[in-house]
A and B are shown apart, each in its own frame.
Chain A
Amino acid sequence: MSFFFALLFILASLVFVVGLTLKIIQYAKTPVPLKIVTTPAPVTKSGVVLRMFREVVFFESLFKSTKWTWIFSWVFHMALLLVLIRHLRYFIEPDAVPAVVWTLIELVQPFGMYAGFGMVLGLVGLFLRRVLVDRVRYISAPSDYLMLLMLGFIGFSGLMMTFVVHTDIVAIKQFFTFNGGQLPADFPLIIHLSLVALLMLIFPFSKLLHVPGIFFSPTRNQVDNPREKRHIVPWAKALEEEQN
Chain B
Amino acid sequence: MAKAEFDVPELQEYVDVPEVEEGTMAHVKSFVVTKPEHNTDLGFPGELVEDWHDKALEKLDDLRGRYRSLQVFLDACVKCGSCTDKCQYFLSTKDPKNMPVGRQDLLRKVYRRYFTFAGKYFPKLVGAEDLTRETLDDWYNYYHQCSQCRRCSVFCPYGIDTAEISMAAREILDSIGYGQKYCNEIIAKVHKIGNNLGLPGPAIENTLEGLEEDMVDDFGVEVKFPLDVKGAEVLLVTPSADFFVEPHVDGLIGYGKVFHEAGISWTMSTTASEAGNFGMFIGSYENMRRVALRVREAALELGVKRIVFGECGHAWRVAYAFLNTLAGPFDFLDPDYPVPQHICEFTDDLIKEGRLNLDKSQNDDMVLTFHDSCNVARATRMGDKPGGQFEIPRNVIKAVCNNYVDMHQDTIGEKTFCCGGGGGLLTDDLMETRVNGAVPRMTALQNAMNEKGVTHMAAICAICKSQFTKVLPYFGMEMDQIVSVHQLVGNALILTTQKSEGDDEEQENDD
A61 touches B157 (CB 8 A): yes
- Taking residues whose C-beta sits less than 8 angstroms from the other chain, chain B's interface range is 35 or more
Residues of A within 8 A of B79 (CB): 136, 139-141, 144, 207
B81 touches A133 (CB 8 A): yes
Q: Of the candidates A31, A33, A224, A230, which one forms a contact with B328 in the assembled complex, judged by CB atoms under 8 Å apart?
A: A230
B77 — nearest CB in chain A belongs to which residue?
Answer: A207
A217 touches B72 (CB 8 A): yes
Residues of A within 8 A of B66 (CB): 30-31, 33, 235
A226 touches B161 (CB 8 A): no
A64 touches B161 (CB 8 A): no
Would A213 and B99 be within 8 Å (CB), given that A33-B325, A227-B338 are in contact?
no
Q: Of the candidates B76, B84, B86, B381, which one forms a contact with A136 in the assembled complex, judged by CB atoms under 8 Å apart?
A: B84
B388 — nearest CB in chain A belongs to which residue?
Answer: A40
Q: Mark B347-386, 1 if CB is under 8 A from A, else 0.
A: 0000000000000000000000000000001111100111
B330 — nearest CB in chain A belongs to which residue?
Answer: A230
Expressed in whole angstroms, the Cα–Cα distance for A210 and B157 within the complex equals 9
B68 touches A31 (CB 8 A): yes
CB distance from A167 to the nearest CB of B (A): 31
Residues of B within 8 A of A227 (CB): 320, 324, 338-340
Q: Mark A59-90, 1 if CB is under 8 A from B, else 0.
A: 10110111001000100000000000000000
CB distance from B435 to the nearest CB of A (A): 22
Would A134 and B20 be within 8 Å (CB), given that A33-B285, A34-B322, A226-B324 are in contact?
yes
Q: Is B150 an interface residue (CB 8 A)?
A: yes
A35 touches B321 (CB 8 A): yes
Q: Is A32 an interface residue (CB 8 A)?
A: yes
Q: Of the candidates A30, A61, A202, A235, which one forms a contact with B156 in the assembled complex, judged by CB atoms under 8 Å apart?
A: A61
Q: Is B41 an interface residue (CB 8 A)?
A: no
Q: How many residues of A contact B (CB 8 A)?
A: 66
CB distance from B332 to the nearest CB of A (A): 14
Q: Of the candidates B78, B84, B389, which one forms a contact with A207 in the assembled complex, judged by CB atoms under 8 Å apart?
A: B78
Expressed in whole angstroms, the Cα–Cα distance for A108 and B342 within the complex equals 54
CB distance from B337 to the nearest CB of A (A): 10
CB distance from B401 to the nearest CB of A (A): 24
21 contacts between A and B (CB under 8 A): A27-B72, A30-B68, A30-B72, A33-B325, A37-B379, A61-B154, A62-B80, A65-B86, A69-B80, A133-B81, A138-B96, A139-B81, A139-B99, A143-B122, A143-B125, A144-B78, A146-B125, A217-B72, A217-B159, A227-B324, A231-B324
Task: Report, nearest first, the 6 A-B pairs whose CB atoms are least far apart.
Answer: A213-B76, A141-B127, A65-B155, A219-B159, A136-B81, A40-B386
